Amino acid sequence: MYTANEIRYEKMIYNRCGKSGLKLPAVSLGLWQNFGHSGSFANIEKMVHTAFDLGITHFDLANNYGVPYGSAEENFGHILDRGMRQYRDEMCISTKAGYDMWAGPYGDGNGSRKYLNASLDQSLKRMGLDYVDIFYHHVPDPETPVEETALALDNAVRQGKALYVGISNYNKAQTAEIQSIFKELRTPFIINQPSYSMLNRWIEDDGLDVYTRENGFGLAVFSPLYQGFLTDKYLKGIPENSRAYGKSKLKNQLDENMVAKLNNLNQIAQSRGQTLSQMALSWVLHNKAVTTVLVGASSPEQILQNVECINHLDFSSTEIEKIEKILK
């Protein structure tokens, strides 16, 4: 039977999510990759236990996470049953719906009331939960009226199936549109989940990060390591055993200029006493709009290493100037 580390809350930093009363750890665990039935359950369970023992209280899932779809939620439910359910009130568990999930017109990628309601019920059943802390619409659906999507999320809260709602992959304009409806409904909308990293700064260009701070919600950032680019894995190019190898989009990006950029960033990280991945996570958290950074993992050791980013979140003006010069 699992027993949590008694000193798990001593080092983790907890940030208030916008103007809400909810605090999230600076580092959260995302169960997107490596948490489905295709992975080792023993390793998955150890990663979740390791995260919680480090003070990571936020576990981020989605209906389609894992291979096959839904298996990450099923595994997480099994982990809860094997000793972690006693800590339910110490965890913030989120899930999402929006991409294709099951066959037919009601399970394809959409934002309809029928799909979102059915998907949330399925997610709760897989995890053995009465409610999730945050329920997200995973991706904007141009074919469903935004009012319908907003009402579906609001309904999840009114039914007691979610405490808060969020959106993911929404840009500034899309966020403003749905947030105006949430305000009318008095829905507890507290968070947007975009991709963001040193190599993917679209939220700055779009103005989403500024809008976030001005309008009182938070950002939970995914892919902060740009699918592994911002680690020491690619400092000499693409290794043969890399998941990026053979993927044309990533492979084409990893040219001589990118490798030089990564090595220059790594030099700054080393001068700060950090690995490149740790500095990349610290850099994301340096943006005051970011409440938490979602890290994935394939081993407990990766979680142990990445959570160390919270020990060096400050950047000198000189470091920021050097980083900006490299990134531009």
Q: Is residue 2 one of the residues assigned to a domain? A: no
d(CA 297, CA 295): 7
For residue 122, the model assigns a pLDDT of 98
Whole domain around residue 127: which residue ranges? 14-229+277-314
Residue 30 lies in a domain: yes
Q: Read out DSSP for 124-183?
A: HHHHT-S-EEEEEE-S--TTS-HHHHHHHHHHHHHTTSEEEEEEES--HHHHHHHHHHHH
Q: Residue 175 is part of a domain; what is its CATH number?
A: 3.20.20.100
Which residues does 252 contact at the CB level (< 8 Å), separation at least 6?
none
pTM for the model stands at 0.95
Predicted confidence at residue 253, as pLDDT, reads 87
* Position 271 in a domain: no
pLDDT for position 240: 66
Give the number of other CB atoms < 10 A from CB of residue 112. Answer: 18
Q: Within a domain: residue 256? A: no
**Collapsed DSSP state (helix, strand, coil) of residue 250:** helix
| 3-state secondary structure (DSSP) of residue 6 | coil
Neighbouring C-alpha atoms within 13 Å toward the C-beta of 325: 8
Judged by DSSP in three states, 107 sits in coil
Judging by DSSP bridges, how do beta strands 27-30 and 58-60 pair with one another?
Answer: parallel
What pLDDT digit, counting tens, does each position of 74-103 carry? Answer: 999 999 999 999 999 999 999 999 999 999
Q: Which sign, positive or negative, has the C-alpha torsion 75, 310, 91, 62?
A: negative
**Phi and psi torsions of 238, nearest 5°:** -90, 115
Residue 309 forms part of a structural domain: yes
307 found inside a domain: yes
- Residue at 261 is within a domain: no
Number of domains in the chain: 1
Which residue ranges of the chain lie beneath pLDDT 50?
Answer: 248
Is the Cα dihedral 317, 321, 324, 326 positive or negative? negative
Closest CA to 315 of 267, 270, 282: 282
pLDDT at 244: 52
pLDDT score at 247:
52
Reading phi first (left if > 0) and then psi (alpha if -120 to 50, else beta), residue 276 is in alpha
In a domain, residue 204? The reply is: yes
Distance of alpha carbon 190 from alpha carbon 134, whole angstroms = 9
What is the model's pLDDT at position 278? 98
